[in-house]
Each structure stands twice: as C-alpha cells, then as structure tokens.
Amino acid sequence: MPAAPRRSSASGEHRLAEPPGGADLEGLRAAAAGCRACPLWKSATQTVFGEGPAAARLVLLGEQPGDREDREGRPFIGPAGRLLDRALAEAGIAREDCWLTNAVKHFKWVPRGKLRLHQSPGARDVASCRPWWEAELRRLQPRALVCLGATAAQAVLGRDARVERDRGRAHATPHAAATFVTAHPSALLRVPDEASREAAFARFVADLRRAADAARDGPQGAPG
C-alpha cells in the first residue's frame, strides 16, 4: 500500500499539470501516469485517467478516484460507480458510449485504522489537475458534459456553482455544447432513508436523461 499522506503540504508542492500539446487521448493518459504536479501522487497507487471512446458525445466529470479506482486504475468502478451504472442504464445511456473522468486524477485519503477514507481534494489540488481534464475535453469536444457533484461543478462553472441551484438546465461553457450539473453518485449513497434515496436517484436519472438528449440532439439541448 502507498504511504499514508501527510495532512498538509507546502504550497510550493503545487504547480499546474502540463499535458503534452500534440498528444491524443492515449498520449495524454501515458503522460498523466507520470504527473507529479501536486502532492497527491505520493500516497496514491496510480493516476486514474479518463476512459471511454474518443468519439464520445457525452462526458461525465466526477471529483476524484476512490479506494477501488485507485487500486485498479479505472474511474467509477466502486460503489458510486455501480450506482452510476444503474442510473445510466435507467436513463438509456450506454456507459461504453461515454467518456468518464475526474477533476482530480489521484486518490486523496486519510488513514482510519486499516481503511483509507476519502478526503475531498483542496482548491490547489483541483487547480493543479485542471489542465488534464481540459486537455481531455479539447480532444473529445463533446456535445454534453455532466459535472457530478460540487467539486466538478465548481471546477467547470466557477467557485459560485451550486449543485442544487444549478442542476436541471444547460449551462454555456467553452468545454461542451451543453454543460449540466447534478449530484455525485456517492452523495446518493449517503442519503439515509429509502424514500429520499429513491427520490434523489430519480432526479439523478432525470438529469442524466437531459444530458443524453443534448448529446444526441445537439443544439436543441444546448443552452439558448
């Protein structure tokens, strides 16, 4: 297991990631594997880069990989990923048609006994990693981008973005013809009672469906 992280890092440990300019998605993936632009790589197993087809019209941007993603090197394969898979299926979206990625590409965690507990990435972590997802989106040029949770929403729409206020409609960004905001699937896992969890899941599916419509129909679903 990688070394437990230190609780804080000197500001000098953060700089902007530098994706190679002419690289395609696989070139970006290879370069990101060696990224050392912020301290998160030190306590993670590996970089978890985005995955999906280069022709994907729909991109899902999450926060950061979790414990299982860190071990296996793929995004959205843990409990939150399974919930996302179920929601995608219900929204009529094939996961294999989407590009799935995260705003931060290394797992940030704190030790709790034998467990590695998720720790939200800080603003400097997100800022350091930003060039990677921007480079992914420049190559993909998707019709629709879905920000899953506040970290992704704020990375794309700015610090004032709020999931509950900003979901349910398309936003104009330079990254996709239409950008949407919704909850992170891990937040749905934490909803305590079943009725509320089902309601939250239904809203999540409706948000994904909206994005799928924009990805399929192009400008119709884009912000006016």
Judged by the rule CB under 6 A, the positions of this chain that interact with ligand SF4 are 17, 32, 35-38, 40-41, 47, 104-106, 125, 128-129, 132
Cβ 131 to ligand SF4, closest distance in Å?
8
Question: Of 48 and 87, which CB lies nearer to ligand SF4 in the complex structure?
Answer: 48
CA distance 60 to 144: 9
Cβ 193 to ligand SF4, closest distance in Å?
35
Question: Of 31 and 177, which CB lies nearer to ligand SF4 in the complex structure?
Answer: 31
From the centroid of its chain, how far is CA 9? Answer: 23
Question: Of 41 and 201, which CB lies nearer to ligand SF4 in the complex structure?
Answer: 41
Cβ 16 to ligand SF4, closest distance in Å?
8
From the centroid of its chain, how far is CA 187? Answer: 13
Question: Of 1 and 195, which CB lies nearer to ligand SF4 in the complex structure?
Answer: 1
Cβ 53 to ligand SF4, closest distance in Å?
22
The answer to whether 14 touches 40, Cβ cutoff 8 Å, is no
CA distance 51 to 54: 9
E strand residue ranges, the chain: 58-62, 98-102, 109-112, 115-118, 144-148, 171-173, 176-182
